[in-house]
């Protein structure tokens, strides 16, 4: 294979025993005394501890663009998982530490013990949380909201092909996660994306696209989005991740999905760094609604593995749909 012919490699998280940190980037709003700020793109880190708990960090938190608060770190957070969504809640008293730069600029260390009430949920691609910070005094309660409430999540596995300058890679089985939010939008994440040729590997990072609106027709959700994103570092071990170094990256994506299949065509404009546009295609365009699978007159008959007929598929598992096995993840 020629050196410039790039393929995709997805590293397996289970190969590494070290603690892993996921970086989430989403909109953050702050409410003080009933007055809410405009949403600001913010990063929150979540580290997986060896005992199964988590550590959440909101670093360099600034209130109202003027009051430098500091680093808000909550450790030993327990979570329960259902249908791929981890839910968590904790009430702790912490000390806020100074952020980057001069310690004199940060108010947090002067506050002493600060009660924090945290609630939220997360997947591999999305984080939603509310953080109530009781600062006391004249400021009082500061209510922080990050991301959007997660309604459901789904993992699709299919062939992924990367094309650069007209040269396409060999198809590789890859996973893409799609989270549905309660406001009807979606978040799509292609995690630990790497560019690989026969001589080198370029770790790119997690490609996460938020606020995807979809129109449904005949059981198929169609979507198109054009936005700039920040590629964050992946959550497996690598010498470096190129994505965070290159700043905002224009992304143009079209696609369609059902409960069982996803097709998307993602154009990632890396002209500023690699002097080329990377085209990523996942799945194929033959995506149709479930009502078109088998059956007569479009009727859908679904049984679970116990032989019990069900009216609708509401949870992951193996089902028999019109006489065919369907795996729902």
Summarised one tens digit per residue, pLDDT across range 218-275 is 889 999 999 999 998 888 888 888 888 888 999 999 999 998 899 999 999 988 877 8
Q: Is there a domain that residue 306 lies in? A: yes
Mark which of 98, 113, 148 sits at the end of a domain. Answer: 148
Classify burial at 206, counting beta carbons within 10 Å of its beta carbon; exposed 0-12, middle 13-18, buried 19 or more: buried
Please tell me whether residues 95 and 194 are part of one structural domain: no
Q: Please give the angle made by the CA atoms of 262, 265 and 270, to the nearest 5 degrees.
A: 135
d(CA 229, CA 207): 8
45, 46, 49, 52: CA torsion to nearest 10: 180
Domain match, 162 and 208 both: yes
Same structural domain, 253 and 157 = yes
Q: What is the CATH number of the domain that holds 192?
A: 2.40.128.350
Residue at 294 is within a domain: no
Instruction: Please indicate, yes or no, whether residues 171 and 234 belong to a single structural domain of this protein.
Output: yes
Q: Are residues 51 and 132 in the same domain?
A: yes
Q: What percent of the chain has pLDDT over 90?
A: 57
Mean pLDDT (the chain) is 85
Answer yes or no: are the C-beta atoms of 116 and 94 closer than 8 Å.
yes
pTM of the predicted model, to two decimals?
A: 0.77
Instruction: Count the domains in the chain.
Output: 3
**65 and 183 co-located in one domain:** no
**Pair 87, 94: CB distance under 8 Å:** no
My answer on whether 208 and 96 are in the same domain is no
**What are the two backbone dihedrals, phi and then psi, of residue 269, each rounded to the nearest 5 degrees?**
-85, 100
- CA torsion angle for 132, 136, 140, 144 (degrees, to 10)? -20
Residue 2: inside a domain:
no
Nearest to 294 by CA among 318, 321, 319: 321
Q: At 294, is the pLDDT very low, low, confident or very high (cuts 50, 70, 90)? A: very low
Whether residues 232 and 175 share a domain: the answer is yes
User: Residue 209 and residue 61: Cα distance in Å, rounded?
Assistant: 24
Q: Is residue 260 part of a domain?
A: yes
Flag whether 290 is in a domain. Answer: no
C-alpha distances in Å from residue 64, one per residue of 40, 68, 108: 11, 9, 14
Q: Is 293 inside any structural domain?
A: no
Which of the 8 DSSP states describes residue 274?
A: H
Question: At residue 20, does pLDDT exceed 90?
Answer: no
**In this structure, are strands 54-63 and 113-122 parallel, antiparallel, or unpaired?**
unpaired
For the four alpha carbons of 223, 224, 228 and 231, in that order, the dihedral sign comes to positive
Residues 221 and 134 reside in one and the same domain: no
Instruction: Indicate the residue among 148, 168, 192 that finishes a domain.
Output: 148
Residue 291, domain member (yes or no)? no
Note whether 161 and 180 are same-domain residues.
yes
77 & 65 share domain: yes
Instruction: List CB contacts of 307: < 8 A, sequence separation 6 or more.
Output: none
Determine the distance from the C-alpha atom of residue 67 to the mean position of all C-alpha atoms in its chain, rounded to a whole number.
Answer: 29
Structural domain includes residue 249:
yes
Convert the pLDDT of each residue in 26-43 to its tens digit.
999 999 988 899 999 999
- Per-residue pLDDT tens digits for 62-76: 988 788 999 999 999
Is residue 3 very low, low, confident or very high in pLDDT (cuts 50, 70, 90)?
very low
Same domain, 48 and 139: yes
Return the minimum-mean-pLDDT range out of 15-19, 84-88, 122-126: 15-19
Beginning with the edge strand found earlier in the chain, give each strand of the sheet holding 317-321 in spatial order: 309-310, 302-303, 317-321, 324-328
- Domain of 181, in residue numbers: 7-11+151-282
């Amino acid at each position: 294979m020629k050196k410039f012919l790039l393929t995709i490699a997805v590293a397996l998280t289970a190969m590494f025993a070290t603690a892993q940190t996921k970086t989430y980037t989403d909109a953050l709003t702050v409410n003080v005394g009933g007055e809410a700020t405009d949403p600001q793109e913010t990063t929150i880190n979540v580290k997986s501890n060896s005992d199964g708990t988590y550590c959440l960090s909101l670093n360099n938190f600034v209130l109202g663009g003027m009051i430098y608060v500091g680093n808000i770190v909550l450790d030993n957070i327990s979570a329960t998982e259902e249908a791929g969504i981890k839910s968590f809640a904790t009430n702790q008293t912490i000390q806020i530490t100074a952020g980057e730069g001069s310690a004199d600029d940060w108010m947090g260390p002067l506050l002493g013990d600060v009660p924090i009430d945290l609630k939220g949920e997360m997947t591999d691609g999305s984080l939603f949380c509310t953080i109530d910070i009781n600062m006391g005094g004249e400021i009082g309660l500061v209510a922080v909201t990050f991301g959007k409430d997660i309604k459901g999540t789904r993992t699709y596995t299919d062939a992924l092909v990367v094309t650069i300058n007209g040269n396409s890679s060999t198809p590789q089985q890859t996973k893409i996660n799609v989270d549905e939010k309660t406001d009807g939008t979606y978040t799509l994440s292609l995690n630990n994306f790497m560019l690989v040729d026969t001589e080198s590997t370029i770790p790119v990072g997690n490609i996460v696209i938020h606020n995807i609106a979809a129109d449904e027709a005949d059981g198929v959700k169609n979507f198109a989005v054009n936005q700039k994103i920040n590629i964050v570092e992946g959550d497996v071990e690598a010498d470096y991740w190129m994505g965070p170094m290159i700043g905002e990256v224009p992304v143009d994506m079209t696609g369609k999905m059902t409960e069982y299949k996803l097709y998307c065509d993602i154009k990632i404009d890396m002209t500023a760094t690699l002097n080329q546009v990377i085209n990523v295609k996942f799945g194929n365009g033959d995506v149709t609604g479930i009502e078109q699978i088998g059956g007569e007159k479009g009727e859908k008959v679904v049984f679970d593995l116990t032989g019990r007929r069900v009216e609708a598929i509401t949870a992951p598992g193996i089902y028999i749909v019109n006489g065919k096995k369907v795996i729902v993840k």
